[in-house]
Structure 1
């Protein structure tokens, strides 16, 4: 058992195998360590989040060492039968790799039950272990850019079903009509850790229903309309005339759904989101509009109070002729303060003078239905409201009586956002680990010793960085393990990807370090062309590694 630093609020526990990992996951889920939060199991690791104000890594290590991991009984969860038509593009190639016929591959795949080990990659995607040991095949050397939803696939000793269309490198052996993710169900994810899975061949192209034993009808198939999206025009709201490059609804995210393969997501600059809400008198976690590169134009329906924070943008209000008995006119308002927008008036947000993302909050918040408790749009998972489009009307709640705007003691933006532009070199604090030992000392020096360029291919999933490639000294394939926002993952080309809020829950490339939590908002404001220099800081504050030799810095 090893304890590896991940971030200043997260610890990775490396164990011998998946059963031991699940035993610890069960133990910490049923009897949590005070101060710990969400748990993300991987193939042989457990990612533990914690509140540094409530518990130290040393206390977590001591508590974990006392846990009895021998009590878990494999295969004791719900049995779910999934009908499969074995028509996958790679079935013949898989058979050839294994020295079997296609029929023998199908017989082995349906002949033993699988267990849901952990989730990740996408909501509803479960890593299934425990099948026949002969079904051990490598991932494809060249991943596909498009794999259809419902594809049944193999990779290594794992089996899985793609819940939605996505890229991927697993070997495709069949298809199923079972819906792995459905928000209209009480339990959106069909498969959760601890469940058992049996694949059943559908002969003759027929259709079979999903079978669930010892469970409610939560696995039943039903359709669902997109949640969180306005379906009718509102008399009191904001009418979008031009959404700009990308405008999304974002709040502080949806923590607590890792067991379904759902990451937290949320605003990339939560400091600015909270500030915008405070300025209009909303609770700090209320949803706001997150604008990338500005250029939003909207019209008020009814009287509204707004505020804009984050990346500073020019704000221009146009009053149409006759709106209040006068002639048409325009006025400017300032970022970082509340302002009124009269009924029929239009607001235009220009291009940021620095930074990348601006946040627009409206007093009362948006009257939309949340998805798993949040209005955040997760672009990787496809969860939450769709991006805002021209013609959409976002209804606004009537403010609660007595709410008021709150004056802020200074610019309500992240540190140095006013200086972040395409010519800026920004220093980000980074905690090295958990897989720093997969790289040479020269590679670690290259990570922290050079200036990295933020590529134009960056998005809410992560910043793609360009510079001198980092080389690995461990060439083995890393079993999938939990990842965090700020993780610096190194793919085979050696060019880092700095994960942001919409990153995948688990990953299979080694992470050499992670940006400290206090610099994550700043990372979310970096535009293409900006440069990053990483500054390593201690793996744990007030924590003696010498007293805990099993903790690897």
Structure 2
């Protein structure tokens, strides 16, 4: 086992092969370690996220190093058969590459039983191991911008099925009508780690109607605006906020949906979690309640009935206009009592990028997989707001106390000043040249317009060049990871980042700077401050406390 630093609350365990990875995963699941919050397995690694207040890094490394990696003889009892129409656009190319006919590719693909090794990339996407050993093909050199839902593909020794339409670089050999992801099922992901899978050539089956026999294309997990967004859904005397303008993007967010890695779903959640908690406290809600997250200016909400709201996060001007035309600028970061017909508008932020709007009692919105967070990449959670939506409010609980006014964060990012983010080097710093490692910290990086909740796409004068070539097997990625694609320009992963990734991560933003990262506007300049040099961890030499890192400034 190798132990590689990821962040102050995460480490990556690298193993020799998939069998060892699954053996360690089984051991950690059978006998969980105190303080470990989540395990994200991949082809040869397990990302371990832990609570530094509950377990020291040295203790954690020592405990994992002592686990038995002998393969388990147990096999899953659940067998899923997936019918496939083998007419994929890469089938002929795969056959040519392997020196066999397309029919032989189909025969080999359907002739072996697979096991769900791990999940990631997208909700319901499972990496299937154990197929015919000859079916070992590289990813496409140029990924496609759109692969349809149900596409069956090969990459390396793995097979997989795309649960929804998305970009992708796997070699597509067919398509299935079976939905890999459906929120109407008790377990939305059809394929769970440990399940056995067998592919069946649909041409060999005698069926009258595929549509009647199997589920159709994968259902999007983002809810379309439903009856909960219309006036008819409001109960008598129920108050609400009506959306008059949405701004660039306004979505529901809470603290995220943790513990869903087994279905390929990452946590998502508010980009600035301290601001979300503050907004809820100001109106007397539990700090983990759902609030609105809006980027930039432009959101307008009209009160239907008497409501109490609070706006936190970015330093943005507010405007309140009454039904009879009076208008003034109330302060943010305090509770605001709105009368029936009052219109609250949020202007363009002077500092920061995202505002949070909480309403007393909380929004009457149904959670998805235990959370109201909208994951814009995975397509999980309530739909983004649309003009005209009615956001019903729940009654405020008895005894809830409206908090005193607060102050906005003192270090909100602006376009005028460079933003400094502390980073922990690793886990793949050694994949880059010494010059690239040095330039990560010595040059400044600009946030490009392609940035969003998935990540900040950065541009710098000096590209981060690799010292190691070849493909990196997909592995778990942490919130705040700085992943470097072949372009050499890093991407800073934020709340909606994918659960796993195939490009090396040179460093990760320290957890205490993640809220600041979530407030950085497009066009701002960043600098990265390494607080710990990259060094492989060993059971004997791991730091005694995950929070005690040498400051390299």
Q: Distance in 1 between matches of 2:411 and 2:221?
A: 41
Task: Compute the displacement of 1:88 (Å).
Answer: 0.5
Q: What is the Cα deviation at residue 209 of structure 1?
A: 8.8
Distance in 2 (alpha carbons) for counterparts of 1:307 and 1:295: 16
2:516 corresponds to: 522
Q: Would you say the 8 A contact 2:221–2:381 is kept in 1?
A: no
Give distance in 1, aligned partners of 2:220 and 2:418: 46
Q: Select which of 292, 295, 298 maps to 1:292.
A: 295
Does 1:60 pair with 2:69? no
Pairing partner for 1:416 from 411, 425, 428: 411
- Separation in structure 2 between the aligned mates of residue 110 and residue 400 of structure 1, nearest angstrom: 57
Which residue in 1 is equivalent to 2:123?
A: 123
What are the ranges of 5 or more consecutive residues in structure 2 without an aligned counterpart? none
**Secondary structure of 2:315's aligned partner:** coil
The answer to whether the aligner puts 1:12 opposite 2:15 as a matched pair is no
Give SS of 1:68's match.
Answer: coil
| Gapped regions of structure 1 (runs ≥ 5) | 213-218, 322-327
Q: Is the 8 A contact 2:418 2:524 kept in 1?
A: yes
For residue 345 of structure 1, what is the aligned residue in structure 2?
342
CA contact (8 A) 2:178 2:216 kept: no
Choose the corresponding residue for 2:366, options 369, 387, 408.
369
- For residues 485-541 of structure 1, what are the alpha-carbon distances to aligned partners after superposition, in whole Å with 9 as ceiling and x for unaligned? 100001001000000010000000000000000000000111111111100113699
Q: Does 1:334 align with 2:328?
A: no
Distance 2:282 2:506 in 1: 39
2:459 pairs with 1:462: no
How many Å apart are 1:442 and its aligned residue? 1.0
Q: Shift in Å at residue 351 of structure 1?
A: 0.9
Q: Which of 496, 500, 519 matches 1:502?
A: 496
Q: Which of 505, 512, 520 lines up with 1:511 in the alignment?
A: 505
Superposition deviation, residue 424 in structure 1: 2.1
Counterparts of 1:145 and 1:224, CA distance in 2: 18
Name the counterpart of 2:181: 181
Q: Bigger CA drift: 376-385 or 21-30?
A: 21-30
In structure 2, distance between residues paired with 1:225 and 1:195 = 22
Q: Residue 380 of structure 1: SS of its match in structure 2?
A: coil
Q: CA deviation at 1:548?
A: 5.0
Aligned-pair CA distance for 1:545: 7.8
Contact 2:426 2:534 in 1 (8 A): no
* Residue deviations 1:60-97 (CA, integer Å, cap 9, x gap): 11111221222512643411100101010111111111
Q: CA deviation at 1:227?
A: 4.3
Q: What SS does structure 2 have at the residue aligned with 1:124?
A: coil
Q: Secondary structure at the match of 1:445?
A: helix
Which residue number corresponds to residue 379 of structure 1?
Answer: 376
TM-score by length of 2: 0.93
CA contact (8 A) 1:112 1:131 kept: yes
Q: How many aligned residue pairs are there?
A: 534
1:355 aligned counterpart, secondary structure: strand
- 1:210–1:13 distance in 2 versus 1, CA, 3 Å: farther
Q: Cα gap change, 1:544/1:109 in structure 2, threshold over 3 Å: closer, same or farther?
A: closer
Instruction: Give 1:138 shift.
Output: 1.1
Residue 384 of structure 1 aligns to a residue whose secondary structure is strand
Alpha-carbon distance in structure 2 between the residues aligned to 1:114 and 1:320? 64
Number of the residue aligned with 2:440: 447
Q: How many angstroms apart in 2 are the aligned matches of 1:54 and 1:25?
A: 21
Distance 1:5 1:116, change over 3 A: same
- Whole-Å separation in 2 of the counterparts to 1:278 and 1:455: 33
Q: Is 1:486 aligned with 2:486?
A: no
Q: In the alignment, what sits opposite 2:245?
A: 242
Contact 1:228 1:369 in 2 (8 A): no
Q: Distance in 2 between matches of 1:538 and 1:163?
A: 39
Q: Does residue 202 of the first structure (1) align with residue 197 of the second (2)?
A: no
